[in-house]
Structure 1
Amino acid sequence: MNSPHRPTPDRSPKQTLRRDFAKSAVVGAIAGCSLPRISKGLHAAEKAPTRLRVAFIGVGGRGGGNLASVTKDPGVEAVAICDVDQRRLDAAQKLHPDARQYTDYRKLYEHADDIDAVVVSVPEHSHAFATMPALKLGKHVYCEKPLTHNIAESRAITLAAEQAGVATQMGTQIHANANYHRVVELIQSGAIGDVHETHVWVGRAWGLQNEAYAKQHGDIVYVTEQPSQKMKPPEFLDWDLWLGPAPWRPYHEVYFPGPKWYRWWDFGSGTMSDLGSHWNDLPFWALNLDAPLSVTADGPPPHAELAPASMSATYEYGPRGAMPACRLTWYQGALKPELWEMGKIPQWNSGALFIGSEGMLLSDYGKHLLLPEDQFQNFVPPPETLPVPVSHHQEWLDACRHGTPTGSPFSYAGPLTEANHLGNVAYRTGAPIEWDAKAMRVTNVEAANRFVSRQPRDGWKLEDL
């Protein structure tokens, strides 16, 4: 930050803490733990009973974990469960025998008078369509990451949440851990000076161009086009409902169950938008990022059907308040930052590296380092001003009841999701893109705008839900 209190470079790391940290900490708290943008006041939260009646859309896999975690709260009652997989419904019903059972979430919303809140854990391509009805009905919503399948859906959900004035949370559980909070305090207190450059990398190597990895893990998803062989859907699966708003295609085991669907553009967005929700979350929060000005991506030639295993995307951001313009580069799969390749930083499999004018900070989910380590031997960290929630789920439940903040409200998670998707837009376009966030358009390559939104399948319209 260009603070007038910034010390000269020859002072010790302890002295590099800015005297205006208290102000910075408040800004950070607002950026990372924003109150829901409530245009109608907190009347819904103020009147909410201590007991919360919650509907769960998607109750297997990640959805099963969300169901178990949310219902640990003794004040939560699972009043409705929904899944297109009858096996998962039956398993959830044994745990919650009084809950109504649905395979089509549209039917669930026709009987929503006794529902206070909704947890959405379906595959990515249906996130917006399962979330929008809840917002329109004034229900609190927890939705798994990434918030939506594309940028236009994310913008629509963000605006709908603002209008609804309810408690929202995207499922970025790592946002709630203590390590992320401490990193944000360090960056925003000026521990490493002005940050102009950030690198984020993940070791996950799922997707196209990685046949050896696929074979090693028995992954049948390594194909280069839609399978021509037709398969009959399992008896327990409603394939048409699973497809939802995505283009229709015959059932095949390369798509189902998860995470197989995750690599197909029609259903997911690959590693970029999925793990980007967790890893780009840290610089997004710490540096008060929002919409990038431009994005350039690199990797293997884009494929029409499948997301890549390895790629990179570089985002250019303008100044934000007192924070200077900065560049964020994302790497996935085999790609890593040059400093990592040269062995000049610890070679963690995944990490986020902040490069400042007075040092560097390296973090992963659970730990962080100030670098060079000898420079920071006597460093005294800033006060811990960002409160750490009991859990990501409990933070949302408390917000439903009392109108308190959440760490990843849709007002924050929406722009984060849009930025992550823009990395894929640039990659699939095959050219650098310039972004007009207000107009929600790529301004320099018209063809890129076909990746900003998509027409849902007949019978599915987001605005009709």
Structure 2
Amino acid sequence: MARRITRRQALAASAASLGYLHLAPAVSQARVFRANEKLRVGGIGVGGKGSSDIDQAGELMDVVVLCDVDEGKLAPKVKKWPEAKTFSDFRKIFDDQALLKNVDAFVVSTPDHTHALPSVLAMRAGKHVYCQKPLTHDVAEAHLLRAEAKKNKVCTQMGNQGTTGNGLRRGAELLRAGTLGDVTEVHVWTNRPIWPQAPKVTDANPPKAADAPKGVNWDAFIGPAPERPYAQGIHPFAWRGFWDYGTGAIGDMACHTANMAFMGLNLAHPVRISAEAGDVNPLTCPSFAHVVMDFPARDKMPALKLHWYEGKRDGKKVLPPEELVAKATAMSKKPLVDSGSIVVGSKGLAYSPSDYGNEVFFSTGEVTNGGTKPETMPVNNGGDGGQKKEWVEAIKANKPELALANFDYGGLLTAAFLLGNVAIRTGKPFSWDGEKGVADIKEAAPLIRREYRKGWDLIGYNA
């Protein structure tokens, strides 16, 4: 059976920390691989983004397990890898100890609300994990995954493929080198949402319940989320706009669009978060939001404010101040794009006109892009496939740090921006103690760490 931890074990963690840093003993340790040995991988969620994820992993490893709640998404992968064992409920994978002995790694590409569970179970079984962005659905889960990866000594990677880009890596290096002087502002915006959510769909106007399509295991799709009837449109894509399953625009894109600045400015835990948002409701993500995150001073870097913008307000896209946009576009000779970032320092600014931060224009004259080579970080520039290749190289070298979007970094990036969703949903600014995992408003706690549905807490999360 899949290993569960007891309530007593879970409560061993400090009560002030909400319990999310508790570590259960690993089931087994990750094994060491020979340089030319081919790894064996399982795919959990193989439709949508998971389709390309398992295809790319399959170019580097032998695919031995396939899991998806939708038989229609599973079928073409079964045809491609007929020897792989198949599942519609990932829990059954981890009940099969004989199977687990023949799996080295897992790629997790399910909806956001089911990222954490299979990832934790895999790591506790000594398996390496690649998990799509955002790493988790909840802030607490993100820090749990960071801790589990370290405890179980496995190699991990989050699927924000822009991290492989030469331009992003060199841009981050220039920020770290102080090219812009003292950076005190970061502005990031997105073209999301591009799926139905508020104001079209809210708790006052929910989608109509219907029978789940034939071949869809709806109970497995719901997973640890509250039990609800199937509704047309949620599966397989629009779930991103529903709080139970997705993390909205900020969860979907901040791990991409804010990545260059977050990495280059050595950001970690914000200390204060506030948000202004429209059409906030308990069912779906907002129609627009402007989130402000205050980060403390880091080494020689001063404190800064990071602004996140999403959606439309009164029919107009929410964006950084017009004066700042004008400076960035004039400096770069690049028009304003639907998604991008601007970094403001005492010596100038940097403008990245893309989702992935791979092209960056500095007012000090530097330009980074795919043709630029990083100086302190390794060259990858392989995009999505390169993200998997880097992960496999880390596994074979037994060096988790070789995967630059490993769960230690990816967990910090994810957790910081998921706090924006907490501010959106509570409607209140709050201070945050990142080491203890505590906000100074009581309304934040159930959003930082949700309750898992009965039958789905295999990791002691509800303890």
CA contact (8 A) 1:302 1:428 kept: yes
Q: How does 1:57-96 map to 2 (within 5 A)?
A: 57-73=44-60, 76-96=61-81
The 1:209/1:240 distance shift into structure 2, 3 A limit, reads closer
Query: Does the CA contact (< 8 Å) of 2:209 and 2:232 recur in 1?
Result: no
TM-score (norm 1): 0.83
Q: 2:296 aligns with which of 318, 339, 343?
A: 318
Code of the residue aligned with 2:76 in structure 1: it is A
- C-alpha displacement of 1:388: 2.1
The 3-state SS of whatever aligns with 1:312 is strand
Write the distance in 1 (CA, Å) between the matches of 2:207 and 2:53: 36
For 1:87-236, what aligned pairs fall within 5 Å after superposition? 87-109=72-94, 110=96, 111-206=99-194, 207-209=196-198, 211=200, 222-225=201-204, 227=206, 229-236=208-215
Cα separation, 1, equivalents of 2:265 and 2:50? 31
Shift of 1:192: 1.6
Give the Cα–Cα distance (whole angstroms) in 2 for the partners of residues 234 and 357 of structure 1.
Answer: 56
The Cα of 1:413 is off from its aligned counterpart by 0.9
State the distance in 1 between where 2:134 and 2:367 align: 40
Shift in CA distance, 48/138, structure 1 to aligned 2, threshold 3 Å: farther
Relative to structure 1, the CA distance from residue 202 to residue 104 in structure 2 (aligned partners, 3 Å threshold; closer, same or farther) is same
Structure 1 residue 340 displacement after superposition: 5.9
Q: 1:53 to 1:348 in 2, by over 3 A?
A: same
- Tell me, in whole angstroms, the C-alpha distance in 1 between the residues paired with 2:438 and 2:169: 33
Structure 1: tracts of 5 or more residues without a match: 1-38, 212-221
Q: What CA deviation, in whole Å up to 9, does each residue of 1:287-309 have, x standing for no partner?
A: 00000010111121421111013
Please state whether the residue corresponding to 1:327 is helix, strand or coil.
strand
Preserved contact between residue 45 and residue 402 of structure 1 (Cα < 8 Å):
no
Question: What amino acid maps onto 1:159 in structure 2?
Answer: A
Q: State the Cα deviation string for residues 308-330 of structure 1 (Å, max 9, x = none).
A: 13211111111111111111111
Q: What residue is the counterpart of 2:273 in the other structure? A: 295
Cα distance between partner residues in 1 of 2:309 and 2:367: 32
Counterpart selection for 2:375 from 380, 384, 409: 384
* Amino acid in the other structure paired with 2:448: V
* Contact in 1 for aligned 2:106/2:127 (Cα 8 Å): yes
* 1:296 partner SS: strand
Residue range with higher mean Cα deviation, 359-368 or 336-345: 336-345
1:361 aligned onto 2:350: yes
Native 8 Å contact 1:45 1:403 kept in 2: no
Corresponding residue SS for 2:459: helix
Matches within 5 A, 1:257-336: 257-258=236-237, 260-333=238-311, 334-336=317-319
1:337 corresponds to? 320
Residues 1:244 and 1:93: Cα distance change in structure 2 (over 3 Å): same
Q: 1:200–1:329: 8 Å Cα contact kept in structure 2?
A: yes
CA RMSD of aligned residues (A): 2.3
In structure 2, what is the Cα distance between the partners aligned to 1:255 and 1:401?
39
In 1: Cα distance, 2:277 partner to 2:254 partner: 16
- Is contact 1:339–1:345 with CA below 8 Å preserved after alignment? no
Matched residues in 1 for 2:289 and 2:65: separation? 40
Deviations 1:45-65 (A, max 9, x none): 634571100011111111101
- Alpha-carbon offset, residue 376 of structure 1: 3.0
Is 1:351 the counterpart of 2:348? The answer is: no
Amino acid corresponding to residue 103 of structure 1 in structure 2: S
Is the partner of 1:343 in helix, strand or coil?
helix
How far apart are 1:269 and its partner, in Å? Answer: 1.1
Q: Which structure 2 residues correspond to residues 38-49 of structure 1 after superposition, within 5 A?
A: 44=30, 46-47=32-33
Task: Tell me the distance in 1 between the aligned counterparts of 2:192 and 2:245.
Answer: 19
Q: By how many angstroms is 1:341 displaced?
A: 7.2
Residue identity opposite 1:292 in structure 2: P
- Worse overlay, 284-293 or 316-325: 316-325
Paired residue type of 2:453: R
State the secondary structure of the residue aligned to 2:255.
Answer: helix
The equivalent of 1:370 in structure 2 is 362
**1:447 partnered with 2:443:** yes
Match of 1:458 among 438, 449, 454: 454
Alpha carbons 2:115, 2:136 under 8 Å: kept:
yes
Unpaired segments ≥5 residues, structure 2? 1-24, 312-316, 330-335
Give the superposition deviation at 1:384. Answer: 2.6
TM-score norm. by structure 2 comes to 0.83
CA distance in 2, matches of 1:246, 1:294: 28
1:56: which partner in 2?
43
One-letter code of the match for 2:318? L
CA distance in 2, matches of 1:293, 1:354: 19
2: CA distance between counterparts of 1:169 and 1:340? Answer: 38
Instruction: Confirm or deny that 1:399 pairs with 2:394.
Output: yes
Distance 1:126 1:205 in 2: 21
For the residue of structure 2 that corresponds to 1:142, the secondary structure is strand
Bigger shift: residues 230-239 or 344-353: 344-353
Give the fraction of aligned pairs with identical amino acids, expressed as a percent: 34
- Give the conservation status (yes or no) of the 8 Å contact 2:248–2:285: yes
Check 1:289–1:60 CA distance in 2 against 1; reply closer, same or farther (3 A cut).
same
Match of 1:255 in 2: 234
Is the Cα contact below 8 Å between 1:45 and 1:166 reproduced in 2? no
Counterpart residue number, 1:408: 405
Q: For residues 354 and 208 of structure 1, what CA distance do their matches in structure 2 show?
A: 30
Distance in 1 separating the partners of 2:148 and 2:77: 30
Q: Which of 238, 242, 245 lines up with 2:224 in the alignment? A: 245
Show CA shifts across 1:185-218 (max 9, x none): 221222221211111111223454455xxxxxxx
Q: CA deviation at 1:421?
A: 0.7
- Paired AA for residue 328 in structure 2: I
